Structures are given as structure tokens and as C-alpha cells.
Amino acid sequence: MKELIKERLKSVSDALLAFSLVNLCFIRTRWALFFDTDFRYYKHNSLTRETLLALGLNLVVFGLIGWRLIRWVRRADSRKLYRAACVVVCALLVLPVDFLRTYFFHVPGSEVFVVARSPLLIGGGLVVLFVFWHWSRISARVLATGLMICVPMVVLTFGKIGYYLLNTPPRHSARFPAFFPTPLPSVEPRVIWIIFDELDQRLAFSSRPKDTQLPELDRVCAESLQATNAFPPGTSTIISLPALTTGRYVISAKPAARDELNITYANASAPVGWSTQPTVFSRTRELGFNTALVGWYHPYTRLFMSSLNYSKWYPYPPYQPVQSETVLRSMITQIWSLVSPLQQRRMQIDLYQKSLENSRDLVRDGRYGLVFLHLPGAHYPGIYDPAKGVFTLTSFSRIRGYFQNLQLTDQTMGILRRDMEQAGQWDRSWVIISSDHWWRDARGYDGQLDYRVPFILKAPGKNQPMIYSAPLNTVISQDLVLAILRKEVSTIPEAATWLDTHQAPPAPSYAVMMLR
């Protein structure tokens, strides 16, 4: 009887060890769901029933698997199995350590790869491996003690899952306001404004590497006004997009709520809510045009719902790494999140594909007077292998990944153009192609940093190319869009004259923006 009780207690102890280890491995998921409130602005929904159920099922399924494996190792009573088990547990504990690196110590992954190749770290790893391999049973006791200390965290996790399941309403599809229940016929003029994130003028056009081909962008330039000295209004997405959409310089921006970004205009003493400001969307609506938007990073739908006829936005993957539409897909997403670098690229590919699909629908639809597309562009991480013409999860070089994504951006432009041509929209639409900021890692490529971004303006019909070399700041883009919609600008030469007579005031220092 005593032996039976003793065996039962060991079994319970092993179950606790297994669940404690699994709970630690899913620390990234738990943090994103229950504790990471700083990034509510960047997320769709922090909690849904599907995501909560997925986490509970992942913990139960992998906890039970781990428990049975521990029981098997104990019963086998093999020194080799003990050694292997210790090594496996140590490897799994790298996951919570990597989480701490990312969220608390803010050590970039690129630095980890550099350190990982150092002889000192390699030697230290071999020493640890030798210790765990040679003194496996002692090592197992040390690991078990540490895991038992973390058992209360398992109880806390399941408690939170239960609490939020009872207090989280069912998810329902977001509905967008139908200001035009009966679709208006095709309108003219029509503007397609495309912001390709982190598209750099110097490396995409002025000093493009010989092994990087961008035929679709070159094709657009061959019939457009191309500004060769255009500068963005800000240093980053969080600053530039408010500036571009309001037509005013913004020197700082900070999320205030899940549906508000506080922005501070240049020469202003206090911040204001971005959603409360007149924007290109509200002003376009006042002119009687339909508006549509596809974007990422900023929660455009929540910010500008009253000014848009259609809106679709996607979170930046690192801010919402563990959520999907169904329980099964959420489980898979959470499992992928155990390997954060692969998960980030997997979600970036999904973001790219979905945003392109939405964009294709909009550029073909002539009912929208303004279509605003903020697409991932060349932004990190690298997700495309142009040599094979496929997406990839293993492009970890920021330098190589940028140029690979640059070629994907070119293909994206080609897809959108062909869709517009087939729908008869290319020759009747204005198209603006630009970026929110330059490539910020360019110094790692050739030691140079150029603040210029592309600014390409295509008019309806057939046009001759024009190089516009005068300096301009793309903060004037909103005013140009409105001038086009009011038919104050009808041709490329008229656009060049408009740019000459509507120069933006000197931009605030980029250094000031970065400090803020």
C-alpha cells in the first residue's frame, strides 16, 4: 500500500514538473495575452475565447505528453535516458530565457547570433553540457527543484484562462459604416496612394545594387514624375503616418488608448488625439468621394472609422504574436511562437498576403475616389527568396533580407498595376508611390545613411517621364491629393508647377524626432 501511495505521489510530482515546464515554454503567449497591456494600441483584440481555449488546450496536451515522457524515463531507469532528458529540458528552458532577452533586456537577435559564435560562449555551453551529461541525476534534481518552484505559475495561468473565459464576450465580425449603401458609380479623378514601408530612394533608385532588379517600379517611373530629392516628414512609422495624413509635421507620438494616438505637432505646446484631427480621409469625404484603406501597424479602422467607407488593418506581428481566428489556428500560432524568429516571419508573410489581397480588390474598384495603401514593403524581417520565387522563414540577415523584400515590393507593384489595367483603372487613376521613412539599417550595408524616400506621381492616361529634382517634403502629399480631387491639378506638368508653388516649410530636425 505504501509503495502504491509513493508511486502515485511520484506520478503527481512528475505531472507538476511537466506542466510547469510547458507553462514556462509558453511564457511568450501568456505575456502577450495577460500582461502586455502597453501595446493595446497595436493589437486587434488582446483576448478572445478562441485564443484562451487554444492556450488551455496547448498547456493540457503538451503537459500530458511531457508527463508520460517523464514517467517513461523513470521506469526505464537508464542513465543514457536521464542524460538525454536533462539536455532536452535545458534546451527547452532556452525559450523563457529568450523571452527575457526580447522583452526585458531588449537584446537584438542579430547581437545574439554574434555572441553565439564567440569562443567563450561556445566553451561555456560545452562545459554546461558536460556537467549535465556527466552528473545527470544530480542535474535532474536541480532542474526538478527549479520547476517545482514555478508550479504556482501554472495555477495562476489556468486561473486567468478560466476567469477571462467567463468574462470575455464572443468575438463578432467588425462592421464598417456604410455611408454609401447604394454604391456610387465610378468616380473621377481617382487617387491610389501607396506607402511602401521603409522604401529607400538611394538604394531602390539612385544607387541601386547591380544584382537588384526592380522592373515594375522602373516601368512606373518611365511614365511618371519622379522626385529625386524627397524627404519624409518623420523618422519612423509612428510619426510619419500621422504627418502624411494630416499634412502637418509631427515631432512625437505616443499611444494613449487602444483607439487613440496622441501626436504633438511641430511648434505646438500640447499633444492632440490623431483621431480628432482633420485628415486626408475626412477631407476627401467632405468632397463627396468614397474612401478606402488597407494598412498595418496603426489601428486605422479604430482611428478613422467615421471617415472611411472601407478599412482593413493588420497588427505588427511582434505586438500580437499568438492570436488567430479559430481555436485550432490559435493553437498552431502559439506553438510557432515558441520559436519567435520563425513565428515573426510566418506572420509577416501572412500579413503581406492578406494585405495584398485586400489591396487588389480596392485598386480594381472604381467607386473609391481615394484608396490609401500602407503596405509592409521592404520592412524587416526578410520573407522572400527572389532566386527561387518563394517565401522563406530563414532569411535572418537584415541586409540581405532588405534587398529580398525590395524585390518583393517590386513584384507587389506589378501585381497591383496588372489588376488595375485589367479593370480599366490604370489609365484613369492617379498613383502616388512613396514611403514613410528611409532604410534605417543602411549603414550596416555600406556605411551610408540617406534620408531620402521615393516620391513617384503617375497621372491618368499616357505620360512622358519627368525628373523633379527640387527638394520637397512628402508632408505636402495630403494637400496634393486634395488638389487632384478638386481638379486643380490635371496633368504631370501641372503637378510639377503645383509642387514648385506649394513647398512645405522646413522640416523639424530628424534628430529631435528620434530623441522624442
Which CATH number fits the domain that encloses residue 306? 3.40.720.10
- Which of 123-132, 278-287, 350-359, 439-448 has the least mean pLDDT? 123-132
Q: Does a structural domain hold residue 331?
A: no
Q: Are residues 16 and 148 in the same domain?
A: yes
- Which of 135-149, 230-244, 352-366 has the least mean pLDDT? 135-149
Instruction: Give the model's pLDDT for residue 182.
Output: 47
- Helix count (H) and strand count (E) of the chain? 21, 15
Q: Does a structural domain hold residue 333?
A: no
Instruction: State the DSSP H helix or E strand holding residue 296, giving kind and residue range, or none if neither.
Output: strand 290-296
- Reported as a single tens digit per residue, the pLDDT across 374-383 is 999 999 999 9
- Reported as a single tens digit per residue, the pLDDT across 312-329 is 999 998 888 777 788 999
Q: Are residues 418 and 290 in the same domain?
A: yes
Contacts 24+ apart (CB under 8 A), 113-116: 113/396
Contacts 24+ apart (CB under 8 A), 247-254: 247/280, 247/475, 247/476, 247/477, 247/478, 247/479, 248/475, 249/475, 249/505, 249/507, 249/508, 251/508, 251/512, 251/513, 251/516, 252/513, 252/516
Per-residue pLDDT, averaged over 8-15, amounts to 88
Domain boundary, last residue among 135, 167, 199 = 167
Instruction: Give the model's pLDDT for residue 127.
Output: 76
Q: How far apart, in whole angstroms, are the C-alpha atoms of residue 375 and residue 505? A: 27
Q: When comparing pLDDT for 177 and 165, which is higher?
A: 165
Q: When comparing pLDDT for 513 and 257, which is higher?
A: 257
| All cell numbers assigned to 78 | 537508464
**Can you spell out the DSSP letters for 184-252?**
PPP-SS-EEEEEETT--HIIIIIT--TT---HHHHHHHTTSEEESSEE-SSSSHHHHHHHHHHTS-EEE
Instruction: Give the model's pLDDT for residue 108.
Output: 64
Q: Does a structural domain hold residue 138?
A: yes
In which residue are the cell numbers 507538476 written?
Answer: 16
- Which of 26-35, 181-190, 342-351 has the least mean pLDDT? 181-190
How many domains are there within the chain? 2
Q: Are residues 71 and 215 in the same domain?
A: no
Q: Are residues 287 and 228 in the same domain?
A: yes
Q: Are residues 143 and 15 in the same domain?
A: yes
Q: Are residues 145 and 215 in the same domain?
A: no
**CA–CA distances in Å: residue 16 to residues 13, 66, 68, 147, 214:** 5, 10, 12, 8, 56
Q: Does a structural domain hold residue 358?
A: no
Q: Does a structural domain hold residue 6?
A: yes
Mean confidence (pLDDT) of the chain: 89
Domain boundary, last residue among 100, 135, 167 = 167
Q: Does a structural domain hold residue 346?
A: no
Domain boundary, last residue among 152, 167, 182 = 167
Q: Does a structural domain hold residue 415?
A: yes
Q: Does a structural domain hold residue 334?
A: no
Q: Are residues 28 and 150 in the same domain?
A: yes
Q: Are residues 309 and 455 in the same domain?
A: yes
Q: Are residues 118 and 213 in the same domain?
A: no
Q: Are residues 31 and 162 in the same domain?
A: yes
Q: When comparing pLDDT for 80 and 172, which is higher?
A: 80
Instruction: Give the model's pLDDT for residue 9.
Output: 84
Give the domain extent around 111: 2-167
- Reported as a single tens digit per residue, the pLDDT across 283-306 is 999 999 999 999 999 999 999 998
Q: Are residues 447 and 315 in the same domain?
A: yes
Judge contact between 246 and 278, C-beta under 8 A: yes
Q: Quick count: other Cβ atoms within 10 Å of Cβ 29?
A: 26
- Reported as a single tens digit per residue, the pLDDT across 238-274 is 999 999 999 999 999 999 999 999 999 998 889 999 9
Asked whether residue 115 carries a pLDDT value surpassing 70, the answer given is no
Q: Are residues 296 and 245 in the same domain?
A: yes
**Which of the four pLDDT bands, split at 50, 70 and 90, describes residue 492?**
very high
Name the residue among 174, 215, 131, 227 with its Cα closest to residue 45: 174
Judge contact between 318 and 344, C-beta under 8 A: yes
Q: How far apart, in whole angstroms, are the C-alpha atoms of residue 344 and residue 381? A: 8
